[in-house]
Chain A
Amino acid sequence: MKLSIKQFYGLILGIIGLIIPFFLNIEGLSEAGHVALGIFFLAAAFWMLEPFPIYATSVLVIFLQVILLSKEGFLFQSATETYTPDSYTAFMGTLANPIIILFLGGFVLADAAVKYNLDKNLTRLLLKPFGTKPAFILLGLMVVTGLLSAFMSNTATTAMMMTVILPIIAQTDLKDPMRIGIALSIPFAANIGGIATPIGTPPNAVVIGALSQQGVNIPFGEWMILAVPLVIIMLIFAWLLLLFMFKPSTDTIALDMSGKFNKSKNALMLYGIFVITVFLWVTESFHGIKSAITALIPVVFLTLTGVVSKDDIRKLPWEVLWLVAGGISLGISMKSTGLAEWIVTSIDWSSFGTLMLILVFSAVAILMSNFLSNTVTATLLIPLAVSLATSGIAGEGFSLIIISLVIGVSASLAMMLPISTPPNAIAMSTGSLETRDMAKAGFAVGVMGIVVIVVYALFYWPLIIN
């Protein structure tokens, strides 16, 4: 295995970071807190500089916590004055956390949808009403992309939409700026659309997982009520922005809408289960069936009926589940060892107002996730925000749910660079645009994102939560 210089520094920094706290005596931080700090340093260095794949670091984080911080580990077999160790099952259990099962259900549904071309056929069907005018086609592409990426992975949605837009791009004149607008519209809409539901994208899972550890349960539908209005505003903004930045010079675009829905028995079974599952998810608040339980419906019935085969199951993106589980697991010990609270108390928050805090967390999250994985960004920031809110340091009115949402949503609104998200990378690799186009438009979306988030966090989310 060959490491780049960046990765090499990551490896060294991570190892040093893990060891150093063992030799320090930090005032106000428990012994276990020192250990947790070491693990946090290692995780941060490995996740940010990526000497190893991020999902590998995630399982390493779970492993280190089990052997160093759990009751069954080497260091804390009995409770100390400052630390009551969790059982190892708490850390390992994150791999089967309800939010992980919810994602598993989403994966199985999405995988089956791809297998039976439901995603492509839905796209064609949904694009029809948008006609042939470039501005409306662009809107249609973004609406459909956003909608699909709310239920499928942003990456798979982008890849699928590429198969729709590449023929359009190939037909348009090389000098027509609309080419760039269309190529950017897909990753942007996919990144934004992922915010809309709990299963839309992994950072949402990190937020929901962290909140559930605090005893706050956010039903599927409530997440949507909180997130969808923001998604709509951001989509409209991104649409207008791309229209403005890359004015189409043609009057009409021909879209190939041919394609037939698969009507085999398996496909019909899939459509049925899809509708039932999504319906039960969205209406969770009315019937109270937890979304993770509903998520088992597609897992169970699509496998029982053979719609999803053993090979399909093997091909699911399991590493994403590891990634999220590692993030949730890191939060456990940061909280129980008092590490998160210590970090939070070492900063003088009293000089910040609520507005300032929201602004700072949102801006930091967007900045970080432009360079890092969105999930890693959410994972590293959420424990701090949670401690800030639960310790009461930030004062009245600083809501746990709101600050968590701010971080989760912000992590998805970073789209300046090809490395910001896989959808950006895909759009870039088609060769139809340049990095500066993406950087300019992505910057505008990021700034608008911060503004919208602050407004929602101050005025809209409190209405829904209280």
Chain B
Amino acid sequence: MEPQIYILVVEDELEVMDALVNDLEKFEDTFPVETANTSEEAKRVTEQIYESGGEVGLILCDHVLPGENGVDFLISLQSDDRSQKSRKVLVTGQAGLEDTIQAINNADLNYYIAKPWTREKLHEVVVDELTEYVIKQEYDPMKFMSVLDSIRLADVIRSGRITDR
């Protein structure tokens, strides 16, 4: 059985958070969305997810946060095996070049979405990243075909993951 895979959104501005969560509604059934306003809270939330046997498949993170900033938070996740494999996306308008380079080099940043985002772009990135996650973790592709990139998942099956029986 696959563990429950969560999407984590870290964002301090309530309106922006609402908009993001709203745009993620389509994924909610398969990938429950958890939210945090600060990196501190985000760490608590991920810990709870791990304790319940779940995994964080994707983290959408703002850069400018009260306390520790988004890039530093993402870098801190690299030191834990469980969060290292999570797909990491910065959703921000204010990360400077220096921070962004940091995130790419040290946090294995998978994508950078510039604010304001469009719903289509967000969906595209979420689908791509979670598809990558599911494939890398070798989870049953069939469970995710209706929400994620079904063509890529079918290709995984084609190369022998599932066989006649």
Interface residues of A in 154-212 (CB under 8 A from B): 154-156, 158-160, 162-163, 166-167, 194, 201-202
Q: B159 on the interface (CB 8 Å rule)?
A: yes
Smallest distance from the beta carbon of A424 to chain B beta carbons, Å?
Answer: 11
- CB-CB nearest in chain B for A169: B150
Residues of chain A within 8 A (CB-CB) of B158 are 114, 119, 156, 159-160, 163
What per-residue 1/0 map shows which CB atoms of A34-65 lie under 8 Å from chain B? 00000000000000000000100000000000
Smallest distance from the beta carbon of B154 to chain A beta carbons, Å?
Answer: 4
B165 touches A323 (CB 8 A): yes
Q: B115 on the interface (CB 8 Å rule)?
A: no
In angstroms, Cα B93 to Cα A333, docked, is 72
Binds A, one of B3-11, B80-88, B122-130, B140-148: B140-148
B151, B160, B162, B164: the one within 8 Å of A114 (CB): B160
A162 touches B165 (CB 8 A): no
Smallest distance from the beta carbon of B142 to chain A beta carbons, Å?
Answer: 4
B157 touches A159 (CB 8 A): yes
Binds B, one of A91-99, A287-295, A340-348, A425-433: A425-433
Q: A370 on the interface (CB 8 Å rule)?
A: no
A430 touches B145 (CB 8 A): yes
A163 touches B151 (CB 8 A): yes
In angstroms, Cα B150 to Cα A422, docked, is 16
Q: A86 on the interface (CB 8 Å rule)?
A: no
In angstroms, Cα B164 to Cα A429, docked, is 16
Q: B40 on the interface (CB 8 Å rule)?
A: no
Residues of chain B within 8 A (CB-CB) of A119 are 158
Smallest distance from the beta carbon of A58 to chain B beta carbons, Å?
Answer: 11
In angstroms, Cα B108 to Cα A15, docked, is 51
Residues of chain B within 8 A (CB-CB) of A373 are 165
- CB-CB nearest in chain B for A373: B165
Binds B, one of A24-32, A233-241, A312-320, A355-363: A312-320
A160, A162, A319, A429: the one within 8 Å of B163 (CB): A319
B154 touches A426 (CB 8 A): yes
Smallest distance from the beta carbon of B120 to chain A beta carbons, Å?
Answer: 14
A194 touches B154 (CB 8 A): no
Q: A375 on the interface (CB 8 Å rule)?
A: yes
- CB-CB nearest in chain A for B144: A429
> Chain A, interface size: which category?
35 or more
Smallest distance from the beta carbon of B160 to chain A beta carbons, Å?
Answer: 5
| Contact A194/B164 with A160-B154, A429-B142, A430-B150 known, Cβ cut-off 8 Å | yes
Residues of chain B within 8 A (CB-CB) of A404 are none
In angstroms, Cα B143 to Cα A111, docked, is 24
In angstroms, Cα B139 to Cα A182, docked, is 27
Q: A153 on the interface (CB 8 Å rule)?
A: yes
Q: B41 on the interface (CB 8 Å rule)?
A: no
Interface residues of A in 93-149 (CB under 8 A from B): 111, 114-115, 119
Interface residues of A in 429-451 (CB under 8 A from B): 429-431
A54, A155, A431: the one within 8 Å of B162 (CB): A155
Q: A399 on the interface (CB 8 Å rule)?
A: no
| Contact A154/B145 with A162-B150, A162-B154, A167-B151 known, Cβ cut-off 8 Å | no
Most A CB atoms within 10 A — which of B147, B158, B162, B164?
B164
Smallest distance from the beta carbon of B157 to chain A beta carbons, Å?
Answer: 4
In angstroms, Cα B164 to Cα A430, docked, is 18
Most B CB atoms within 10 A — which of A54, A119, A167, A425?
A425
In angstroms, Cα B2 to Cα A225, docked, is 44
Interface residues of A in 264-300 (CB under 8 A from B): none
Residues of chain B within 8 A (CB-CB) of A2 are 1
A422 touches B164 (CB 8 A): yes
- CB-CB nearest in chain A for B143: A429
Residues of chain A within 8 A (CB-CB) of B165 are 54, 202, 320, 323, 373-376, 421-422
Q: B13 on the interface (CB 8 Å rule)?
A: no
Q: B155 on the interface (CB 8 Å rule)?
A: yes
Residues of chain A within 8 A (CB-CB) of B157 are 155-156, 158-159, 162, 426
- CB-CB nearest in chain B for A428: B142
A166 touches B150 (CB 8 A): yes
| Contact A317/B160 with A374-B165, A430-B145, A431-B145 known, Cβ cut-off 8 Å | yes
Residues of chain A within 8 A (CB-CB) of B147 are 431
B164 touches A154 (CB 8 A): yes
Most A CB atoms within 10 A — which of B151, B155, B163?
B163
Interface residues of B in 95-152 (CB under 8 A from A): 142-143, 145-147, 150-151
B164 touches A155 (CB 8 A): yes
In angstroms, Cα B154 to Cα A203, docked, is 24
In angstroms, Cα B163 to Cα A194, docked, is 13
Residues of chain A within 8 A (CB-CB) of B151 are 162-163, 166-167
| Contact A159/B150 with A425-B142, A426-B157, A429-B142 known, Cβ cut-off 8 Å | no
Which 9 residue pairs are nearest across A and B when measured between Cβ atoms?
A: A431-B146, A159-B157, A162-B154, A159-B158, A429-B142, A317-B163, A373-B165, A429-B145, A160-B158
- CB<8 Å pairs between A and B, sample of 15: A114-B158, A156-B158, A156-B159, A159-B154, A159-B162, A160-B154, A163-B154, A163-B155, A315-B159, A317-B164, A319-B163, A375-B164, A422-B164, A429-B146, A430-B145
A-binding residues in B (CB < 8 A): 1, 142-143, 145-147, 150-151, 154-160, 162-165
**Beyond A323-B165, A426-B145, A431-B146, 18 extra complex contacts between A and B, CB < 8 Å:** A2-B1, A111-B160, A156-B157, A156-B158, A156-B159, A159-B154, A159-B156, A162-B154, A162-B157, A163-B154, A167-B151, A194-B164, A202-B165, A320-B163, A421-B165, A422-B163, A431-B145, A431-B150
